């Protein structure tokens, strides 16, 4: 009992109250992440239900305080009732708690937009988080990165599915290549070669081996590796990221960094050849018609992984990806993409991989849907 009271008091102390009232808008963003991008996509005002910063409107929350109900779900319902939106949208498809609200607001359209690659374990873990004896969530529209993910999401969420690609990628115009026959690696290293996206993969030596092989190939070819850093200069973790590569490449690499997400795509556009492991941005580079070399562990979280998962594997993928890691394979793939002309890539390979991630210029399909929904 005392622990429960303490937790409620602690939660209450972290709340930042606002003493005005929210505007009544037709669109409500559930979770403030990517709010600036939604603004750019729809170019109109919308309201935000803050989940991370716990910005609470006091006059909406007052009734709960009186009844000693500190439930954020209750607050969410009261907030939605006050704002009266026609559409509730989130750019964090992991926020399945949003769909808990659908049964209480059947006349409001709920939309979720997929924001990154998902792996087999992710889907299994989401299912484990379902309440006991609970079967499936309900929504209205779900925008997936590609058509292949839809089968997996259908086991979690009953809704209408569409494909969009990645909403950030769609906002940046594709520019001309500047550096021919050069390689840009999209960094995924965080704090050590063993940890990627907070996950410890099966082989602790995988990342070091991969970059040693890449470095050997580049030394033999008289080239340097360009690396687009994941972490911004302001991040304390960037130092670890840089040190990891310096231990392997010494001075045989060039770092590129930018805190502006749009400029990262512009950096990618400058290079002819992109190397990545399993990052969303690697697939985004592919959708921008970059020639890609993809190296990833054969298993992630104990499940098989390959380029294009969860879509079917095709033998044509072997030209630019491999299920095993060796110097022979790294050299073969890097030479394949470097020697392949852009026109041949577009005709022979891009034509079979373009469905892996759509490029929907300026997110037209999402914008059109939202405009139609709020117009009615």
Question: For the segment 220-244, what is each residue's pLDDT rounded down to a tens digit?
Answer: 999 999 999 998 877 787 888 899 8
Model confidence at 124, in pLDDT bands (50, 70, 90)?
very high
Mutual orientation of helices 327-339 and 206-221 as an angle, nearest 10°?
50
Residue with the larger pLDDT of the pair 192 and 183: 183
Model confidence at 67, in pLDDT bands (50, 70, 90)?
confident
Residue with the larger pLDDT of the pair 198 and 348: 348
State whether 46 and 153 are in the same domain: yes
Residue 203 is encoded by which pair of tokens? 């082989």
Residue with the larger pLDDT of the pair 308 and 236: 308
197 pLDDT above the threshold of 50: no
Dihedral angle sign, alpha carbons of residues 92, 94, 97, 99: positive
Model confidence at 255, in pLDDT bands (50, 70, 90)?
very high
State whether 139 and 187 are in the same domain: no
| Residue among 27, 41, 29 at smallest CA distance from 368 | 41
Query: What mean pLDDT do residues 263-271 have?
Result: 97
State whether 297 and 191 are in the same domain: yes
176 pLDDT above the threshold of 70: yes
State whether 152 and 183 are in the same domain: no
Between the two ends of the chain, the Cα-to-Cα distance in Å is 49
Model confidence at 4, in pLDDT bands (50, 70, 90)?
low
Question: For the segment 321-371, what is each residue's pLDDT rounded down to a tens digit?
Answer: 998 999 999 999 999 999 999 999 999 999 999 999 999 999 999 999 999
DSSP-assigned letters across all residues of 250-264: TTSEEEE--S-HHHH
Residue 93 is encoded by which pair of tokens? 């498809």
Model confidence at 204, in pLDDT bands (50, 70, 90)?
low
Share of the chain above pLDDT 70, in %: 92
Report the range out of 189-193, 232-236, 283-287 with the highest average pLDDT. 283-287
180 pLDDT above the threshold of 50: yes
State whether 256 and 300 are in the same domain: yes
Say if CB 258 and CB 264 are below 8 A apart.
Answer: yes
202 pLDDT above the threshold of 60: no
- Rama region for 242: left / alpha / beta (φ>0; ψ in -120 to 50; rest): alpha
200 pLDDT above the threshold of 60: no
Residue 256 is encoded by which pair of tokens? 């590129």
Q: How many domains is the chain partitioned into structurally? A: 2
CATH number at residue 51: 3.40.50
CATH number at residue 344: 3.40.50.2000
Least confident of 35-39, 204-208, 291-295, 351-355: 204-208
State whether 239 and 299 are in the same domain: yes
Strands 157-163 and 87-90, by their bridges, are unpaired
Say if CB 287 and CB 203 are below 8 A apart.
Answer: no
State whether 191 and 334 are in the same domain: yes
Residue 42 is encoded by which pair of tokens? 């729809």
State whether 51 and 166 are in the same domain: yes
198 pLDDT above the threshold of 50: no
Least confident of 108-122, 177-191, 322-336: 177-191
State whether 188 and 126 are in the same domain: no
Say if CB 210 and CB 203 are below 8 A apart.
Answer: no
Strands (E), 287-326: 291-295, 299-300, 303-304, 321-322
Question: For the segment 8-62, what is each residue's pLDDT rounded down to a tens digit?
Answer: 555 556 678 889 999 999 999 999 999 999 999 999 999 999 998 878 999 999 9
State whether 165 and 213 are in the same domain: no
Q: What is the largest CA-CA distance in the chain?
A: 72
State whether 52 and 154 are in the same domain: yes
State whether 192 and 288 are in the same domain: yes
Average pLDDT value over all residues in the chain:
90
228 is in which domain, residue-wise? 175-356
């Amino acid at each position: 009992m005392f622990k429960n009271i303490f937790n409620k008091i602690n939660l209450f102390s972290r709340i930042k109250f606002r003493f005005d009232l929210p505007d009544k808008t037709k669109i409500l963003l559930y979770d403030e992440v990517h709010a600036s991008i939604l603004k750019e996509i729809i170019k109109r005002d919308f309201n935000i239900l803050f989940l991370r910063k716990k910005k609470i409107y006091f006059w909406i929350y007052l009734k709960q305080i009186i009844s000693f109900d500190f439930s954020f779900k209750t607050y969410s319902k009261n907030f939605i009732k006050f704002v009266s939106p026609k559409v509730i949208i989130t750019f964090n498809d992991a926020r399945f708690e949003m769909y808990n609200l659908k049964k209480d607001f059947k006349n409001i359209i709920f939309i979720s937009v997929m924001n990154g690659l998902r792996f087999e374990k992710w889907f299994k873990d989401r299912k484990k988080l379902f309440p006991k004896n609970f079967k499936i969530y309900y929504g209205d529209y779900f925008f997936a990165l590609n058509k292949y993910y839809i089968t997996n999401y259908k086991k979690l969420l009953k809704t209408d599915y569409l494909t969009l690609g990645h909403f950030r990628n769609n906002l940046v115009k594709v520019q001309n290549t500047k550096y021919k026959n050069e390689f840009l690696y999209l960094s995924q290293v965080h704090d050590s070669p063993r940890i990627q996206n907070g996950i410890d993969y099966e082989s602790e030596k995988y990342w070091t081996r991969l970059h040693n092989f890449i470095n050997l190939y580049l030394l033999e070819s008289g080239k340097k590796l360009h690396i687009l850093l994941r972490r911004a200069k302001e991040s304390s973790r960037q130092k670890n990221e840089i040190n990891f590569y310096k231990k392997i490449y010494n001075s045989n690499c060039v770092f590129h960094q930018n805190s502006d997400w749009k400029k990262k795509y512009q950096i990618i556009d400058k290079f002819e050849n992109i190397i990545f492991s399993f990052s969303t941005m690697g697939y985004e580079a592919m959708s921008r018609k970059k020639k890609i070399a993809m190296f990833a562990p054969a298993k992630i979280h104990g499940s098989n992984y390959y380029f294009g998962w969860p879509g079917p594997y095709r033998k044509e993928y072997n030209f630019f990806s491999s299920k095993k890691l060796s110097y022979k394979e790294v050299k073969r793939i890097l030479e394949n993409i470097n020697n392949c002309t852009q026109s041949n890539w577009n005709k022979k390979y891009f034509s079979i991989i373009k469905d892996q991630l759509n490029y929907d210029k300026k997110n037209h399909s999402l914008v059109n849907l939202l405009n139609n929904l709020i117009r009615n």
